[in-house]
Amino acid sequence: MDIMTTKDAAELWGISIRRVQALCDSGKIPSANKIGDVWLMPKGTQKPPDGRYKAAKNVTSTTRSSCK
């Protein structure tokens, strides 16, 4: 099985190494395992969704009717 480190994940996902470590530590990456002081995860692990933003919902816009 191929593995990647937090550094590899950070480069792949375009975020900092510290952010990847925080995601691992908080359990957002369930496949990550800590060996000593190093986080390892399977190669190809997907970046978890950014919790700061809600997923876009199908929102229909309403328009005002002009009254005469």
Query: Is 8 part of a structural domain of the chain?
Result: yes
Query: Is 66 part of a structural domain of the chain?
Result: no
- DSSP H or E run through 45: none
Query: Is 22 part of a structural domain of the chain?
Result: yes
Query: Is 58 part of a structural domain of the chain?
Result: no
Tokens of 40: 């390892």
Query: Is 9 part of a structural domain of the chain?
Result: yes
Of 25, 49, 54, give the one whose Cα is nearest residue 6: 25
Is 39 within 8 Å of 24 (Cβ atoms)? yes
pLDDT for 3-62, tens place per residue?
999 999 999 999 999 999 999 999 999 999 999 999 999 999 999 998 888 766 665 555
| End-to-end C-alpha distance for the chain, whole angstroms | 71
Query: Is 49 part of a structural domain of the chain?
Result: no
Give ∠ CA 9-55-6 in degrees, rounded to 5: 10
Count the domains in the chain: 1
Query: Is 67 part of a structural domain of the chain?
Result: no
Q: Which domain holds residue 18?
A: 3-42
Query: Is 59 part of a structural domain of the chain?
Result: no
